[in-house]
Amino acid sequence: MNTLVVHNSIVKLRPHYSLRGNDLYFLASTRPIKNCIESEAALFSRLANAPDGIALSSLDEDELQQFHSIIDCEFADIVEPLNPASERHLVVVEPHMDDAILSVGGQLLLRKGKQRITILSVFGISNYTSYVELKRPFLDHKEVTRLRTAESVLAASKVGAQFQSLDLHDAPLRLLPHDQWSESGLSEQVRMTRGFLGSYPIPHIVQGVAHELRRALNDLDPDEIWIPMGLGHHVDHRTCRLACLRILASAQGKLGEIPIRIYEDLPYSQAPHRKQILHAFETVGTKLDLKTEDISDVMDEKQKAVAVFASQFKPSSMAPRLLKAASEVAKEEGYLTAGERSYSIQRPFCIPSEIELAVDRESLLKIRSELEGFAAKIDGHKRLNILVLASGVFGSISEVTTALSTVLPETMVTINVISANQQDISLRQLGNGWLKCVPETSLLGKLIIAEECCHIGRPTIIVLWGAQQSSFLKRAFLKMLGVSRPLLVASSLSDVFALWEEIASPSVSDSKISDRTASITPQVGERP
- DSSP of 73-87, one letter per residue? TTSEEEE-----S--
Q: What is the pTM of this model?
A: 0.91
What pLDDT score does 5 carry? 45
Strand-pair partners of 10: 55, 79
Going residue by residue through the chain, which has 528 residues, state the pLDDT in tens, using 9 for 90 and above.
Answer: 334 445 578 999 999 999 999 999 999 888 999 999 888 888 889 888 998 889 988 888 877 888 888 888 889 998 888 889 999 999 999 999 999 999 999 999 999 999 999 999 999 999 999 988 888 878 899 999 999 999 999 999 999 999 999 999 999 999 999 988 988 888 888 888 988 999 999 999 999 999 999 999 999 999 999 999 999 999 999 999 999 999 999 999 999 999 999 999 999 999 999 999 999 999 999 999 999 999 999 999 999 999 999 999 999 999 999 999 999 999 999 999 999 999 999 999 999 999 999 999 999 999 999 999 999 999 889 999 999 998 899 999 999 999 998 899 999 999 999 887 656 677 888 778 889 988 887 888 888 888 888 888 999 999 998 766 567 777 787 888 888 899 999 999 999 999 999 998 765 433 333 334 444 543 333 434
Which strands make up the sheet holding 162-165, listed edge to edge? Answer: 162-165, 116-121, 89-94, 224-228, 260-263, 339-345, 288-294
What pLDDT score does 525 carry? 35
What pLDDT score does 519 carry? 44
Cα 288–Cα 122–Cα 528 angle in degrees, nearest 5: 165
* φ, ψ of residue 9 in degrees (nearest 5): -70, 150
CB 85 within 8 A of CB 113: yes
Smallest Cα–Cα separation from 409: which of 382, 385, 386, 387? 382
